[in-house]
Amino acid sequence: MSNSATPNTTDSPALAPPATSPVTLRINGSDMTLQLAPWTTLLDALREYAGLTGTKKGCDHGQCGSCTVLVDGKRINSCLTLAMLHEGAEITTIEGLGQEDNLHPLQQAFLDHDAFQCGYCTPGQICSAQGLINEGRAHTEDEIREMMSGNLCRCGAYVGILNAVKEVVDAQTARRQ
């Protein structure tokens, strides 16, 4: 427990070199092979190894939603899962939803409704909202509030977020009818 770290104590696992191996992840439609350790979370793999820094690390403990991505169309918190467990799955991040010159309807709606201030929670909010739309269960304001509750916004842009998500949900519902 003391801090007398002896470099030649080779049997301590903390001092062993990280045992990495190649992992192929399908991110935003293309395969990427990354050299990862088993303990690399999906969030760290995306940000630190795949260079996709759109996905944000807020709490790193499942408590804020800023790391939300879609795996096979379902929204999850990428901070509480290991990258290696997602080999073969279809991962979508904010970079895969829209581009600067071709905004996703949710991105446009967030702009139109002033749905952010600092923008830190926004990629997670938008991925979560896309997950909510894929689920197809939330329609009313109350339902959207409840089903967006896994995404906190430190700036308190909730009114704008709700209006932006509602607009896109309504447009989708109208299109389906």
Partner 1 sequence: MNPFTLTRAETVEGAVRDFRDSDSPAFIAGGTNIIDLMKENVARPTHLIGLNKLPLNTIEPTAEGGLRLGATATNADTAWHPEVQCRYPLLSQAILAGASPQLRNMATNGGNLMQRTRCYYFYDTATPCNKREPGSGCGAIGGYNRIHAILGASEQCIATHPSDMCIALAALEAEVHVVGPGGSRVIKFEDFHRLPGNTPERDNTLEPGELIVALELPKKGFEKHFSYLKLRDRTSYAFALVSVAAVLELDGSTIEDARLALGGVAHKPWRDKAAEALLIGQPATTSTFKKVAEAVLKDAVGQGTNDFKIELGRRAIVRALQQATAGGKASDVFLNSNP
Ligand X SMILES: Cc1cc2nc3c(=O)[nH]c(=O)nc-3n(C[C@H](O)[C@H](O)[C@H](O)COP(=O)(O)OP(=O)(O)OC[C@H]3O[C@@H](n4cnc5c(N)ncnc54)[C@H](O)[C@@H]3O)c2cc1C
Q: Does 68 bind partner 1 (CB under 8 A)?
A: yes
With CB under 5 to 8 Å by kind, the binding choice for 119 among ligand X, ligand FES, partner 1, none is ligand FES
Q: Output the smallest distance, CB 75 to ligand FES, in A.
A: 11
Sign (positive/negative) of CA torsion 58, 59, 60, 64? negative
- The listed partner (partner 1, ligand FES, ligand X, none) that binds 32, CB under 5 to 8 Å by sort, is none
Q: Which residues bind ligand X (CB under 6 A)?
A: 62-63
Closest distance between ligand FES and the C-beta of residue 83, in Å?
14
Q: 65 or 160: whose CB is closer to partner 1?
A: 65
Task: Measure the CA–CA gap between 13 and 83, rounded to whole angstroms.
Answer: 21
Contacted by 146, from ligand X, partner 1, ligand FES, none: CB < 5 to 8 Å by type: partner 1
Strand order in the sheet with 90-92: 30-36, 21-27, 90-92, 68-71, 74-77
Q: Which residues of 97-133 are buried (b: 16+ CB within 10 A; e: fewer)?
A: beeeeeebbbbebbeebebbeeebbbbbbbbbbbbbb
- Classify 25 as helix, strand or coil: strand
Q: How far apart, in whole angstroms, are the C-alpha atoms of residue 9 and residue 36?
A: 25
Return the range that interacts with partner 1 (CB under 8 A); candidates 90-98, 109-117, 134-142, 153-161: 134-142
Stretch 69-88: interaction string toward partner 1, x if CB under 8 A = -----xxxx--xxx-xx---
Three-state secondary structure call for residue 59? coil
Picked from ligand FES, ligand X, partner 1, none, the partner binding residue 110 (CB below 5 to 8 A depending on kind) is none
Contact set with partner 1 (CB under 8 A)? 13-14, 16, 18-19, 37-39, 41, 60-62, 65, 68, 74-77, 80-82, 84-85, 128, 131-132, 135, 137, 142-143, 145-147, 149-152
